[in-house]
Amino acid sequence: MPNVIFSKSGDLNNSVFGKSTEPVMMTIERRAEAFEQRSAIKSLFKMGKSKNFAEKMTSMTSMEGFKPVGEGGAYPQDNMQESFSKVLEFETWKDQFVITKELVEDAKTLDLQQKPSAFVAGYYRARERFAAALFMGAVNGEEVTLDAKTFSVNGADGKAAFAADHPSKGAAGAQSNRFSDAFSLDALAKMETAMQNFKDDNGNPLALTPNTIVIPNDWELKKKVFEALGSERNPSAAGDGFNYLFGRYNVIVWPYLNAYLGADKQPWLLVDTDFNEQYGGAVWIDRVPLTVSSWVDNTNDNNVWNGRARFMAGFHDWRFAAVGGVANGAALA
């Protein structure tokens, strides 16, 4: 079942609206379930829940590892330190719709279905829009402003989640997950290799396994991506060579990205969803699920439906993903 909590006023039991309450609730639940099944958020964010005002995300540097000590040798003392941290403070999101007494009296069934459907669509659209805005804000290197509210696109290191100069707390030095190469089969192979060479703060290789490509809804870019991945043979290679990238990637075409494209019109993202799930690169935390209350406004005899939720999302460890096809990025080796 979708994560929706309902509460209704006792006044509804003795009013003309009582008979419409349950069908409206069922419409909300059905629509919520449909949106949750096709949302891109659960594929691109580490999902979590919280009971706190805010959540601090942090990680530890790796240990130096085991050392040869010879027979009867003493145990060497290993150590680790806290790496960069990021605090997510939850935002409250609200909306409302109204069912008039006349709609119920005149049995306007279509309107009674459309309003709650549009209400739920607005809630899940806001979540999807927020998620896409964060990703593209990080690609554009600009904080996100939605309805006069400003949101950070920086990771724990203080840099935008996609940057050419991510600092390190250890010996790794600066690293880049921002690249200028437009999408191609070769660019995909190069970016996969670049991500597999990402290092932790102490300079140890992480051996990432990128498995997801994310693109805006652009027909030329879609054509390039599916042509590159759609055949086990590489027609551009001599002798119709083998395409070793065939069947290895999930592709997410995310139309919500289109609204936030900056100067770069064909960016493409490569994501390791397993690393993201384990270490928290892009993080989404729900504090209060969608809570819907229904009550009668005695000043105008309307049935008012309020929706409220608290959630927040942001970036922590940049290593979960890389972007290509953007300005101010390094050229893939």
Question: All domains of the chain, ordered by start, with CATH?
Answer: 4-60+85-324 (3.90.1690)
Question: Which pair of structure tokens corresponds to residue 116?
Answer: 């709650």
Beta strands in 116-232 (DSSP E): 144-146, 149-151, 212-215
Distant-in-sequence, close-in-space partners of 270: CB < 8 Å, separation ≥ 6: 188, 191, 192, 195, 210, 212, 213, 214, 321, 322, 323, 324
Q: Is the pLDDT of residue 232 over 70?
A: no
Query: How big is the chain, counted in residues?
Result: 333
Tell me what pLDDT residue 108 has: 67
Average pLDDT estimate for 29-36: 86
Q: What angle do CA 47, 49, 51 make, to 5 degrees?
A: 160
**272 or 31: which leads in pLDDT:** 272
CA dist 315 and 152 (Å) reads 9
| Lowest mean per-residue pLDDT among 170-179, 241-250, 269-278 | 241-250
Tell me what pLDDT residue 55 has: 84
Element (H, E) at 323: strand 321-324
Q: Is the pLDDT of residue 210 over 70?
A: yes
- The predicted model scores a pTM of 0.87
Cβ contact 254:221 at 8 Å: no
**Residue 299 CA from chain centroid, whole number:** 42
Q: Is the pLDDT of residue 159 over 70?
A: yes
Tell me what pLDDT residue 1 has: 42
| Lowest mean per-residue pLDDT among 48-57, 115-124, 307-316 | 48-57
| Lowest mean per-residue pLDDT among 31-45, 105-119, 163-177, 254-268 | 105-119
Question: Which pair of structure tokens corresponds to residue 26?
Answer: 């069922």
Calculate what percentage of the chain has a pLDDT beyond 90: 54
Q: What sign does the CA torsion over 145, 149, 152, 153 have?
A: negative
Residue pLDDT, tens place only, 263-315: 999 999 999 999 999 999 999 999 999 999 998 888 888 889 999 999 999 99
Question: Which pair of structure tokens corresponds to residue 298?
Answer: 């005695």
CA dist 205 and 24 (Å) reads 53
Tell me what pLDDT residue 21 has: 82
Question: Which pair of structure tokens corresponds to residue 287?
Answer: 């504090």
CA dist 315 and 84 (Å) reads 12
Tell me what pLDDT residue 144 has: 94
Cβ contact 129:146 at 8 Å: yes
Q: What are phi and psi of 13, to 5 degrees?
A: -65, -25
Residue in this structure with the two tokens 């659960």, named with its chain if needed = 42
| Lowest mean per-residue pLDDT among 57-71, 144-158, 243-257, 276-290 | 57-71
Q: What is the pLDDT of the chain when averaged over all its residues?
A: 87
| Lowest mean per-residue pLDDT among 30-44, 56-70, 297-311 | 56-70
Distances (CA, A) of 5 to 26, 28, 47, 264, 315: 12, 11, 19, 41, 28
Residue pLDDT, tens place only, 126-135: 999 999 999 9
Tell me what pLDDT residue 63 has: 63
